[in-house]
Chain A
Amino acid sequence: MALLDIKNLNLAMRSYEGETQILHGIDLKIERGEIWGMVGETGSGKSLTGLSVSRLIASPPGRYLAGSIEFQGRDVLKATDKEMRMLRGRHIGMIFQDPTTNLNPAFRIGTQLVDVALHAGHADPSVLGLGAGASRGDFKKAAKRVAVEMLEKVGIPKAADRIDDYPHQFSGGMRQRVLIAMAMIGKPDLLIADEPTTALDVSVQAQILRLIHDLVAERNIGVLLITHNLGIVAQICSHVAVMFRGRILEAGKVNDVLKRPSHSYTQALLNSVPTVHTKRGELMGLSGAMRETSA
């Protein structure tokens, strides 16, 4: 049984012009220990696929026309709200693109982390290292301890002191670490990272990628990494799915797809990345004509 098995996912969104189909039959299977990269341009549906997994798309405007998303054998789309709350934060962790908007500026880092830890702890006390009959005080103490441990783990020095800081006292890279800590605190089985490094500098990006890589190695979790940067995919992903206009054009092992792309769109995407070896004038954009014909 795969960790995550998306079968023939079709999603439509309602807008003023009527309903438009966004995802056209997405199929994707993620096993433990795999890092799946999902690449595509703006509007190709990669983020919506990620959001669908933890069912964060409001309905309406979203509507699933067909398909299923099986997480550890259970269909997420058919789960009740209560079951979903148990999954989110505990079994499925999410990291979003912008660390500045995803932390509440009015609460201390610690408060926000402890909230998540308590939520995960109530779903499963063993996350906090507690038995079933632990008291409320035990929960609070354990949640704080776990929060500090997680912060240390993601590389924030003097975590015990910094836990009482507010988000604005942290730099962009550190805020993103806090978000990763928050996503990892419930010891999830699947991590969905939606453009986790887009807002960061390259050197910080390298640190964050290493962190994600080490977490996978250590905890044997599955990761769905949504990005538009093929460089990131080549670096840390084991598998990659190329999305275009709501469809997966090509999917497979990173080495196969990036070295011998079978689809012309993947090749075009690769050619549009300036690397150390590209000479001026060699870079190929995806011209408007190509966009229209491949639609």
Chain B
Amino acid sequence: MSLDIQNVSKIFPGPRQGFFGRGEGFTALDDVSLSIRKGASFGLVGESGSGKTTLTRCILRLESLSAGNILFDGSDIHKLTPLQMRRLRSRLQIVFQDPYASLDPRMTVHDIVAEPLVIHGDVVNMTASRRTERVMELLLQVGLRSEHLFRYPHEFSGGQRQRIGIARALAVNPEFLILDEPTSALDVSVQADVLNLLHRLQVELGLTYFFISHDLGVIRYICDDVAVIYRGRVVEQGPVAAIFDNPQSDYTRMLLDAMPDPDPDRSPFRKIAAV
């Protein structure tokens, strides 16, 4: 399993002008090429509006492409038939950013986590009681307990909710997990627990991660490779250590400098004060 993004562009159409005319479109992705290795964690860093989310939507085929190909195991995602796409989606799952908005408040944890098993019933083929067993197994795997099974999302803290979101994504045994800022809504202490959970799951299940974040510390911690995206263009990509220790582009350098370090001696303000 590998994912190859080849020269992908996405241009959103501009406003209507006159009867047939269109204004100039907005280029959200401009000739983006990335290659994600099996079993590795690939990080995508960028600010808001840089096209991170558009790229994930393109990978999930929630958005059409203006140009380029996205190859999953060699087959072009955007040329698959609807049935093939459904099959593929069971191998490709996503964890969303906001654990408060991505869980249905009127469904129990059991129903939330079991839903993908029902939707992909033709692939998974489980009886109802087997599904419940699977949900139980998943909850334990992400560090929740079996008594949480029939509770509702509002009874959980942010970190626990994100664990539910991860359990849901893992339900159908995917190979590839898209993590769209999974920890940005969480406290640092909770974030550390969730990051460690993700790391453990990757080792245990051999998952491939596509990890989106604007937090360079998180990316450095969890990822093997990283790409920096700015205004729809990939500014720089390569192994995490190389990019972080020896950034080539000014933009990456700027991002690294802007990252607040918890060591007081590294503060830019204190340097000024000392002079």
Contact = CB atoms under 8 A, between A and B. Distances in A.
Contacts of B48: 172, 201
A275 to B, nearest CB: 5
A79 interface: no
25 contacts: A41-B187, A202-B214, A202-B255, A203-B258, A206-B257, A209-B269, A213-B269, A229-B188, A230-B262, A231-B262, A234-B260, A235-B269, A269-B189, A270-B262, A271-B192, A272-B188, A273-B192, A274-B195, A275-B262, A276-B256, A285-B189, A285-B192, A285-B194, A286-B192, A287-B193
A281 interface: yes
A283 B192 contact: yes
B158 interface: yes
Nearest to B254: A203
A217 to B, nearest CB: 9
B216 A269 contact: no
A236 B264 CA distance: 8
Given A201-B47, A284-B192, A274 B261 contact: no
Contacts of A284: 192
Interface size class of A (residues with CB under 8 A): 35 or more
B187 A42 contact: yes
A274 B183 CA distance: 12
B260 A205 contact: yes
A255 B265 CA distance: 8
Contacts of B222: 280
Given A42-B187, A201-B214, A232 B199 contact: no
A194 B151 CA distance: 32
Interface in A178-221: 201-206, 209-210, 213
Nearest to A230: B262
A273 B262 contact: yes
B267 interface: yes
B263 A234 contact: yes
Interface in B17-66: 47-48
Interface residues of B, number: 39
Given A234-B266, A276-B244, A42 B158 contact: yes
Contact of B220 (A201, A204, A276): A276
- What is the interface of chain A mostly: helix, strand, loop, or mixed? helix
B193 A231 contact: no
Contacts of B128: none
Closest 3 CB pairs of A and B: A231-B260, A285-B193, A272-B192
A254 interface: yes
A77 interface: no
B142 to A, nearest CB: 13
Interface of A: 41-42, 172, 201-206, 209-210, 213, 228-236, 254-255, 258-259, 268-276, 278, 280-281, 283-287
A64 to B, nearest CB: 27
A163 to B, nearest CB: 24
A202 B258 contact: yes
For B189, B214, B218, the residue with the greatest tally of chain A CB atoms inside 10 Å of its CB is: B189
A206 B258 contact: yes
B245 to A, nearest CB: 9
Interface in B118-153: none
A232 B215 CA distance: 13
B15 interface: no
A269 B254 CA distance: 26
A201 to B, nearest CB: 4
Nearest to B263: A234
A280 B218 CA distance: 10
